[in-house]
Amino acid sequence: MEFLLQKLSGKLSSVCLALILVTFFPLQAVASTFSNFFFFGDSLADSGNVFYALEGEITVPPFGALVPPRPYASKTFSNERVWTQYLAQLNDLSARAFLNPSIPGTNFAFGGALNQPLAQIPSPSLEEQFAFWQQATGNTADPNAVYFLQGGGNDIRIAATLDNLLATALLQNAVNSIDKIITGLIEAGATNIVVINSPDIGLTPDAVARGIDSQATTFSE
């Protein structure tokens, strides 16, 4: 956490100011019914924040042959663009990464993120991403924008390795984090909020290889 946050600390002030300008003074009119998309999430949604935070030094998790070597497409954790980028393009909007040094974007997702902050996890959680958004926008939501929350997968991956008592507590905290973010967005003026269910983590090669697929599937339901 400290390494990634140290990388972030020097970037946030300038990025936040630029994002305020982009958010409230759009560069061009768009065809979408909505004024903007904001994203909070993990590697499934990250359009480049980890890449920019680590200045391109993305390393492959220790999954061996299960994960292809880098470079990943478009600075994402995928062999192609991620869903946030496709969705934004379909609506003539952007899913540009928040830490994009050229034009800061509205995608606050970080690969590896949990819903809740945990000291052992180096990526900013969804709660911490929401704090970045609050800092960047002065905690003022655009009522015509859509706010997407996509997380929980990494919480489930960890929970599937724990005993039932610890797993239940961790997953409850993950749910509480989403509730806290939703409440904060509503209080800030957001009117369009989309919460996306976690995919079935038990189907991932990682879960199968580690023998936690059954438990992970149960927690994903």
Q: What are the pLDDT digits (tens) for 42-98?
A: 999 999 998 888 876 655 555 555 555 555 666 888 878 999 999 999 999 999 999
pLDDT > 90: percent of the chain: 63
Q: What share of the chain is helix, strand, coil (3-state, %, to 5)?
A: 45, 5, 45
pTM: 0.81
**36 burial type by CB count under 10 A (0-12 exposed, 13-18 middle, 19+ buried):** buried
For the ranges 28-32, 142-146, 196-200, the lowest mean pLDDT is seen at: 28-32
Residue 31 has pLDDT above 50, yes or no: no
Q: What are the pLDDT digits (tens) for 80-93?
A: 899 999 999 999 99
Other CB atoms within 10 A of residue 67 CB:
14
Provide the domain count of the chain.
Answer: 1
Side-chain half-sphere exposure of 124, counting CA atoms within 13 A: 28
Terminal alpha carbon distance of the chain: 29
Give the domain extent around 178.
Answer: 2-220
Q: What are the pLDDT digits (tens) for 157-175?
A: 999 999 999 999 999 999 9
∠ CA 174-55-114, nearest 5°, is: 5
Other CB atoms within 10 A of residue 40 CB:
29
Structure-derived torsion over alpha carbons of residues 178, 57, 64, 171, reported in degrees to the nearest 10: -10
Helix (H) or strand (E) holding 165: helix 164-188
Residue 3 has pLDDT above 50, yes or no: no
- Contact predicate 123/62, CB 8 Å: no
